[in-house]
Amino acid sequence: MVDVLGRCGKIDEAWELMLKMPFEPTISMWGSLLGSCRKYRHIRLARIAAEQLFKLEPKNGGNHILLSDVYAASGNWENAVLARKYLKDSGAMKDMGRSWV
């Protein structure tokens, strides 16, 4: 549901759902929220989702890249650069993309 609401642009509703659930949000829920925040440039919730993902997956550099992309999409280049710098400083790694032809 979090993913569906986020993809429809109802990011605040997705966030409210996550707050009301009787269990802790999963990594995939936080990731869906962060991805939706990138698409719809919702910086406040992007920061919250990213902070949770950094705690749950400290070595997943993709989360840092996604937060940087949120800032860049919003024209906030200073924070976009800082997010990339934090990725480098934290030692987190982003898996290389692959495809089969």
Over residues 13-29, the pLDDT tens digits come to 999 999 999 999 999 99
Question: Using 50, 70 and 90 to split pLDDT, how confident is the model at 87?
Answer: confident
| Domain interval for residue 8 | 2-90
Q: How far apart are CA 37 and CA 100, in angstroms?
A: 29
What is the pTM for the complete model shown? 0.84
Taking residue 23's Cβ as centre, other Cβ atoms within 10 Å add up to 5
* 55 CB-side CA count, 13 A: 8
Asked if the model's pLDDT at residue 94 lies above 70, the reply is: no
Q: Which pLDDT score, from 0 to 100, does residue 88 have?
A: 82
Question: Which CATH number goes with the domain that contains 67?
Answer: 1.25.40
In a domain, 37, yes or no: yes
In a domain, 67, yes or no: yes
